[in-house]
Amino acid sequence: MLIRIGSRGSRLALTQAEQAAAALRRDGVEVALVPMTTAGDRDRTSPFGQIGERGVFVKEIEEALLAGRIDVAVHSAKDMTSTDTAGLVVGAFLERDDPRDALVGADAIRPGMRIGTASVRRRAQLLALEPTLSIEPMRGNIDTRLRKRQERGLDAIVLAACGLDRLGLQDEIGLRLDPEQMLPEAAQGALALQVRAGEEELVTSVDDAETRRRVEPERQCVAIVGAGCLAPVAAHHDGTTLHALIADEDGAWIERRSGDDPVALAEALAGLAAAR
């Protein structure tokens, strides 16, 4: 049996697709990787709001899956929309890697630093931690952002720790930010294997139950709040409790709540935002 795996074509995306392929091959499955380009890959300079909301890195891959050109799509789960696309489901989550954000170029956040990130979630939390920071927009793959930090003379950039780990670039990390400082994106650190509804058996053998137990409430919480790439919202399950956050982009207003019920948590955050 041959399974065609669709993935973005960046070095990190292909490394992640190969992780999924290796897991499936252990079950004796033959796998072929199919690199693809998404809207987020083609436009590497515009803010996410100009090219679409959350999902700009997955839409074309989902379309290929629905059309039958591939059998499995591998995504960084944090890049997916928080609700499943009609006709598609996440058949498996691989075991989650480090969900934390990482500070690259410095070992601490200090007053007046110039820090690069394209994420409004990271921007809001950084400014809440230290209002004197200068947050500068920066997009591109990991290698591009590492290069741009040097070229632009930035004090630091913030990236997902898991991406650096997967590429063997962990030595670039100056500080792994504790979720109490920087609440991660919902599902950060997890790889999602998406399939057509009814074809879950293609990947269920590699599904990690503990990762699913944590990631699904995170995604549900963010979906209910109605967040996309432009909304400073975060959710992270530490294994015991779900933590969630909503904020202004400048970090002047930020609210955190914790609990067991993602619906109640999301409704509380949405209520706080509506009452402002």
Q: Which residues are catalytic?
A: 78-79, 121-122, 139, 145, 229
In angstroms, rounded to a whole number, what is the distance separating the alpha carbons of residues 253 and 267? 18
Q: Which residues contact residue 150 at a Cβ distance below 8 angstroms, ignoring those fewer than 6 apart?
A: none
In angstroms, rounded to a whole number, what is the distance separating the alpha carbons of residues 16 and 195? 16
**Radius of gyration for the alpha carbons in the chain, expressed in angstroms and rounded:** 18
Give the type of residue at 22. A
In angstroms, rounded to a whole number, what is the distance separating the alpha carbons of residues 90 and 172? 32
Residue 251 CA: distances (Å) to CA of 93, 132, 223: 32, 11, 21
In angstroms, rounded to a whole number, what is the distance separating the alpha carbons of residues 89 and 192? 10
> Widest CA span of the chain, in angstroms?
57
Give the dihedral of Cα atoms 136, 55, 212, 26; nearest 10 deg.
Answer: -100
